[in-house]
Structure 1
Amino acid sequence: MIAIVDLICKSLTGGDYKGKMVAKVKTLGIVFDDEQRSGYCSGELVSGQVLVELSEDMRVTALRLVARGCARVNWSEGPGTATAPSSAAMATSSPSSSSSSSRSFREEVEYVHSAQTLKEAPGDNSEENFITLHAGKHEFPFSFQLPQGPLVTSFSGKYGCIQYWVNATLERPSAPDQSVSREFPVISHMDVNTPTLLSPVSTNKEKMVGCWFFTSGPIALSARIERKGYCNGEAIPIYAEIENCSSRLIVPKAAIYQTVTCLANGRTKTCRQRVANVRGNHIGSGSMDTWNGKKLKIPPVTASILNCSIITVEYSLAVYAHIPGAKKLKLELPLVIGTIPYNGFGSRTASVSSQFSMDMSWLSLALPEQPEAPPNYADVVSEEEFERHTPSCSQPEDLESELGRPVFAYIQEFRFQPPPLYSEIDPHPTLTEEEQPRVAFVI
């Protein structure tokens, strides 16, 4: 534990007291109970200890702890603009004045603010009221609960950051305060098993390659992914078709891009970078290539941040064809990086149905809008043919006299009889044209 504390301890405040303070306070650090935890969620309890190690007895007025969490953006624009400050500097330092010729843009949104006193001298906290901490090691436990409302995932970027930290301050009479800070990660879970993130995404595009009116031919590109939501470590299967009807040699590629957008004072600052890429084989003139699930693995990146008002982190999958001497043909498919991975259940029906509807879309082009009614029997059969195959119906009275009993009794007798045997010989054959008698005319 001491080794961990040594890494996070801060130097003591300078001035005339520096040598004396270092001699008294050997260690001031913060340790969390679960150091291996990847992140806390909203409503969870954060606990740990503030460790103080003294080389000799020291008078202390109070030991206070403040937990904070906020999103901050900060950048400057104009002549003589300096490099944007780091996220750590934004979290600990106060706003500094920029050059008179540049303009600064700052914004902050607070999510967590909790304060508590771990140790305090009784009375009015004047210099006369204090407590004495003896030489040696001291542990002061602390705990606080994160808000139940939705929090934003921790993030650190070039122009903004989302950070959560605790700050412990040791107050002493007639001496500067000494403090130490320690960050802790927060994760806002995003489930990729929602219907919106499970729906397939597809698009297509075509580009004519050439210069002025000397065109060499078009290049067609279509791409599709099975769903919109994925998680870190997953491999995205890419389905694409690239048809090269131009006279140039092209190279198909795919890449994952991260786009960070910061908002302050009505202005936006965007930072875009490529986090993963893959390439296919060269496609010659008059040829085509098909990707049947080409894999592109997602590296360890921050999950998509879509619930912050001043910082958004978005991802996209770009499938493009590199064309020598011309602007590349590019498609971008929206992508969401979540935290709860795809479980393969509950959404399979929707995925299969969407795939089936896509594969059977050609059928709707072949079928008419309203099916035509079948033809009438009388329109396709002549009257002679109809009379030849229609049995003569006797009146019920004549039929009963011929049978010698009521018709109902006759029907009941054959009600459960088996059907007649199948035969391919027509019992009432119709003479064909070859079998009909021919009449010879003698002239």
Structure 2
Amino acid sequence: MLFDKVKAFAVQLDGATAGAEPVFSGGERVSGRVLLELSRAARVGSLELRARGRAHVHWTESRGAGSSTAYTQSYSESMDLVSHRAALLAPDSGEPRTLPAGRHEFAFGFQLPLALVTSFEGKHGSVRYSVMATLHRPWVPARRARTGFTVIETLDINTPALLAPQEGSQEKVARSWFRNPGLVSLSAKIHRKGYTPGEAIPVFAEIDNGYTRSVRPRAALVQTQTFVARGAQKQKCALVASLAGEPVAPGRHAQWQGRLLRIPPVGPSILRCRVLHVCYSLKVCVDIPGSSKLLLELPLVIGTVPLHAFGSRSSSVDSQAGFLLDWGLGTLPQRPEAPPEYSDVVTEEDSAATAQSPFALLQDPMSLEGPYFPYFQECRYLPPPLYSEEDPNPPSEDMRSRCMTF
């Protein structure tokens, strides 16, 4: 407006950079300030702040009757995730106050709930977080300023459920009207269920082609978005990454011994939202000419906390060892060798040296001084005593009587 006294009105969050929203996790504190710049002194009624997080889905479905549309049905649902209100500037005694010309800053801060859903933008729904400031002045429309921020849910893949191997198998009889039917089988397995962006998934697969034509195996990482409203669901699938194998000739067997499928930068799985879900799966399929494809689906979870280098080492090593053994891709390490015999370690010269008087060792100028050192040297090369179930040094009668008194 030409005669508006407000030159600038904005909300700034701490940690924000040019062109990028700040990123938070559940339980963290969000802080910032509201900037108000006045060209002249102005009367201000109040300055309110509202932080909001909301998951919202909406889509429309049409039902046709012949060549015309019978009716159109809309589905919509919302879920509040964050709701915070604060008064940054309140009028004195119910009357508007006058602020001088210049720049004014009003600091704010609030705590996010522990359980939050990751920010998301989809075709039929979204999860958005924002902070809005509203400036009220007498006889002037309210002025509003808004800024958004991103929330990333902490999803740790270092849990037993996400570290467990995933496997499956499928088979089908491929038929074509001009060829004889044949059995095509597919088995696939991966090390674990949980991964993070940037990792590569080693895919192990076996394909048996009993069909009369060559078949071609493929693998793909697929994202499935599910929107829920009023008891109805709407799904949208997107291809994230894929790889293709070599054709398998008729009557031949093929194996994938860890074909790598790299995960690009994608959003994490959203599993704990009532109106919106984001899931991932690894789909391994075999394209069969003249017939429908043979499909095998393994569920995946894309997390935010990567695999620990040491925390899950033992469990992951054990699971991978069993994984390789099941598929015949590895063998257990050989049994460790037994320790050497005493006679193989101690030479005859050392044994002869210990047979002499222990006090003769003190004549060596390099030996240590002390009254107990000869005894140590005497027992240095002696073999350990033999095991016996009977105590070689039974307690005396006097010692037994003392123990009974206690």
- Equivalent in the alignment of 1:39: 23
Identity %: 45
1:291 is displaced (CA, Å) by 1.4
CA distance in 1 between counterparts of 2:185 and 2:327 reads 20
Note if contact 2:22-2:149 (Cα within 8 Å) is conserved in structure 1: no
- Equivalent in the alignment of 2:75: 105
Q: Which moved more, 1:331-340 or 1:315-324?
A: 315-324
| TM-score normalised by the chain length of structure 2 | 0.73
CA distance in 2 between counterparts of 1:196 and 1:171 reads 52
CA distance in 2 between counterparts of 1:241 and 1:100 reads 49
Q: Provide the secondary structure at the position in 1 that maps to 2:23.
A: coil
Q: Provide the secondary structure at the position in 2 that maps to 1:196.
A: helix
**1:6-405 aligned within 5 A:** 18-21=1-4, 24-35=5-16, 39-78=23-62, 101-124=71-94, 129-147=95-113, 149-212=114-177, 214-357=179-322
Q: What do you get for the CA RMSD once the two structures are aligned? A: 2.6
What residue identity is the alignment partner of 2:310? F
Deviation per CA, 1:294-342, whole angstroms, max 9, x where unpaired?
A: 1111111111111111111111001112223321111110000011101
Deviation per CA, 1:355-401, whole angstroms, max 9, x where unpaired?
A: 555566699xxxxxxxxxxxxxxxxxxxxxxxxxxxxxxxxxxxxxx
What residue identity is the alignment partner of 2:38? L
Q: Provide the secondary structure at the position in 1 that maps to 2:3.
A: helix
More strand by share: 2
CA distance in 1 between counterparts of 2:312 and 2:244 reads 30
Deviation per CA, 1:77-112, whole angstroms, max 9, x where unpaired?
A: 2259xxxxxxxxxxxxxxxxxx99422222222121
What residue identity is the alignment partner of 1:123? S
CA distance in 1 between counterparts of 2:243 and 2:313 reads 28
> Structure 1 215/132 Cα, relative in aligned 2: closer, same or farther at 3 Å?
farther
CA distance in 2 between counterparts of 1:277 and 1:314 reads 17
> Structure 1 38/171 Cα, relative in aligned 2: closer, same or farther at 3 Å?
closer
Note if contact 2:167-2:188 (Cα within 8 Å) is conserved in structure 1: yes
Note if contact 2:180-2:212 (Cα within 8 Å) is conserved in structure 1: no
Note if contact 2:209-2:251 (Cα within 8 Å) is conserved in structure 1: yes
Structure number, greater radius of gyration: 1
> Structure 1 349/132 Cα, relative in aligned 2: closer, same or farther at 3 Å?
same
CA distance in 2 between counterparts of 1:158 and 1:123 reads 49
Unaligned runs of 5+ in 1: 1-17, 81-98, 364-415, 417-443
Note if contact 1:195-1:347 (Cα within 8 Å) is conserved in structure 2: no
Q: Provide the secondary structure at the position in 2 that maps to 1:197.
A: helix
| TM-score normalised by the chain length of structure 1 | 0.67
Unaligned runs of 5+ in 2: 329-385, 387-406
CA distance in 2 between counterparts of 1:360 and 1:293 reads 14
